[in-house]
Chain A
Amino acid sequence: MKSHSSPLPRREKAIISWLGITQMQYRNPLLMLWWSAAFPGFGHILLNQYWRGTLFTLFEVVLNSLANINGAMVHSFGGKAELAKQLLNPHWIYGYLIFYLYTIWDTYKKTREFNMHNELAVLENTRIKSFLLSSGEINILERRNPAAAAFWSFMLPGLGQLYNNRVMLGIYALLWWFFYCRFSHVFTACYALFEQGIVQSTRLLSAHWLLFMPSVLWGAVYHSYLMAVEHNSLFKYEQKQFLKERYAGSEIFALEENRGDEIAGSGIV
């Protein structure tokens, strides 16, 4: 793994910007595929394709709402297929279905593609920049605690992203979480569970908005966990580069040899 002194790196392992750290890393194609199935866009966000991932999540919420996918899912799992059929909006389901399948397929393909490029980037071993001061933000590649990242995103999706310095994604997730909580009425329903009983509580809930929440919550937890793990491995990778570069010219054992001669010499004398 020697770094060559070509003027332009062919493949970079990672870059740092005020938006966060963007990196190539080995990722499991099936896990990425699953997250796209759970929520279109999440797979791409996990692959660090943040712009398209974010736009896909917007697509998902809008198309799902127009086509009534979540409501139909609730009826289907509840064994009322007839109700589900009535609820689905034929104007939108074709487009939704194709879009949904595409994001799943594309995530799988992209993961395999990035895994190859990651391997090549590691072998190329281009020096990583790990410290960024800009006028409005500070971003430093540091060791992170994956459990802390997961914990904060579990308490409030987005906080784990902020902990990992993925600034705008964290704020985006926070905004959506407040929105989901408000429109699913999940907190009033929890309160009603104790005060008025289960039937009243269930009546308060909006199935459509509630059904987004498990994917968003666990998606945020998983993203913050995975990014913390990946930042840690990138931190080691970068520090290894640094140490190799800075302490390459060690004379510790060169001195040893000289000293050996000295002792040998003194033995003769």
Chain B
Amino acid sequence: MRLKKTGVMRLLVVGLFNYSTELEQALRLLESNGIDRSKMMAVPMEADSNRQLISGESRELSFDVGFAAATALGVVGISIGFVLSWGPILWGLISTASGFMAGYFITRLISARKKNAHMGRHACLPELVIIVRCEEESLEQVQMIMHHYGAWKLGIMES
């Protein structure tokens, strides 16, 4: 019996994913291809586990402030445009655009100073690790499914 067992090579396939519907497709397909749910594991990666418990904004607000400033300056620009020689439409466009730029870049500057920059770096890292245990014969299929449904990278090791 022991001989028979060691004859089959068991492998761990580790995949890096983002949260997505494709990920669920991958997991369901693996299950329907005979890999039991108990042979799979999903580990969510947290950029900063402390941040979870601190209430507050965890993203940069540069677009938010940009849109707000575009509105404010746009209204003023249109109003003043009625008495200026270029008229409300052109002044509206100019003031809206400069309002957005001012709001956007000033917020970026401020948040860069607050050392929020590391949040941006974490934003483009994979969000989940999926671990699947399978036998050698099904390795190719597991790899193919995981790659096809959005795995960033796959790692394979014997276990």
Contacts and interface: CB of A to CB of B under 8 A. Distances in A.
Interface of A: 26, 28, 31, 34-35, 38, 73-74, 76-80, 115-116, 118-119, 142-143, 150, 186, 189-190, 193, 198-199, 201-202, 205, 207, 210-211, 214-215, 218-219, 221-222, 225-226, 229, 235-236, 239-240, 242-244, 246-247, 249-252, 255-256, 259, 262, 266
Given A31-B68, A35-B68, 5 more contacts: A28-B64, A79-B83, A211-B79, A255-B133, A256-B159
17 contacts: A26-B58, A28-B57, A31-B68, A73-B79, A116-B55, A193-B89, A199-B87, A201-B87, A214-B70, A218-B74, A222-B64, A225-B63, A235-B19, A239-B24, A240-B44, A252-B133, A262-B5
B89 A201 contact: yes
A190 B20 CA distance: 44
A120 to B, nearest CB: 10
B38 interface: yes
Interface of B: 2, 5, 10, 12, 19-21, 23-24, 27, 37-42, 44, 55-59, 61, 63-65, 67-68, 70-72, 74-76, 78-83, 85-90, 92, 96, 127-128, 131, 133, 159
Contact of B20 (A79, A143, A219): A143
**Majority SS at the chain A contact face:** helix
Contact of A210 (B10, B88, B90): B88
Contacts of B96: 214, 218
A249 B71 CA distance: 52
A266 B19 contact: no
A218 B89 CA distance: 16
A198 to B, nearest CB: 4
Contacts of B24: 239, 242
A219 B92 CA distance: 16
Contact of A205 (B59, B88, B133): B88
A236 to B, nearest CB: 4
A245 B92 CA distance: 53
A192 B37 CA distance: 67
A251 B120 CA distance: 35
A221 B67 contact: yes
Contacts of A38: 68, 71-72, 75
